[in-house]
Amino acid sequence: MNLKIKYYLELIRVKNCLTASFGTIIGGLIASNFNFGLIGYILLASLIVFLVCGFGNALNDIQDIEIDKINKPNRPLPSNKISLKSATIFSYLLMISGIIISLFNMICFAIALINSIVLYLYAKKYKRNKIIGNLIVAYLTGSIFIFGGASVGNVEITLILFLCALFATWSREIIKDYEDLDGDKSEGVISLPIKYGKNSIFVAIGFLLCSILLSPLPYILGMFGAPYLMAIMICNVLFILAVLKLLKNPSKEIAGSSSKYIKIIMNLVLLSFVIGSLM
């Protein structure tokens, strides 16, 4: 029995779900100025994110069962550790329970419902068309923060965090696609770099500039003070350095290191929001 649980945790990619839940908690804490009196709502929101995220991940494995028989034969589904029927029922149970719990808050309910639809579309269709898939991943990543903010009744600051995260993630996904160009091509996947070559780097840069452009808004609106502005400006300088490096030498290797570098800076951006909320 314990082994079965392990397989189900593997199916939903529990680490990935926990990361998303953690993002929701951070979003909720930022939006409530670290008012731990509201932690109950925030934890409820992070549970919903865990469930809906688990639904999406399980659905992806269900969709990929045939490909995984060759590529990842040890995953719970192709190795028959979990039957396809059980996995399907389980994944929809996760989604339904997530949506039911979200009824405590209208925005959370709407986002849980919309994200479930989007995750379904992603698994069924857009994982193999990364041009749209990238936007979906970016939207889902950003929405985690709004979800936390909504649970404590303050979406404003998380709305800016949502936009910054959306554009930075979108940018990073395109740069990752540039790195994975050959692999994607051989698998028949469509991506921006496959279709538009090196010019897709400019799209990634455009999105990153949008993220940079919107990042001072919490300071301009007086939500956060000078410590935030200083922290976020350091992040923006680092972003620009990453972009310049990639522009100078748009090779797959640099794309790979840039994408890792951007991921680190994105975590620093999140830290800047925490600093802004605390100081």
The residues that touch a copy of itself, with contacts defined as CB under 8 A, are 106-107, 110, 113-114, 117-118, 121, 124-125, 131-132, 135, 155-156, 159, 196, 199-200, 202-203, 206-207, 209-210, 213-214, 217, 220-222
CB of 11 to a copy of itself, least distance (A): 25
State which residue, 71 or 199, has the beta carbon closest to a copy of itself: 199
State which residue, 22 or 196, has the beta carbon closest to a copy of itself: 196
State which residue, 53 or 118, has the beta carbon closest to a copy of itself: 118
Question: What is the rounded distance in angstroms from the CA atom of residue 63 to the CA atom of residue 71?
Answer: 14
CB of 187 to a copy of itself, least distance (A): 20
CB of 27 to a copy of itself, least distance (A): 16
CB of 233 to a copy of itself, least distance (A): 15
Q: Are 119 and 55 in contact (CB under 8 A)?
A: yes
Alpha-carbon Rg for the chain, nearest whole angstrom, is 19
State which residue, 157 or 231, has the beta carbon closest to a copy of itself: 157
CB of 220 to a copy of itself, least distance (A): 5
State which residue, 7 or 196, has the beta carbon closest to a copy of itself: 196
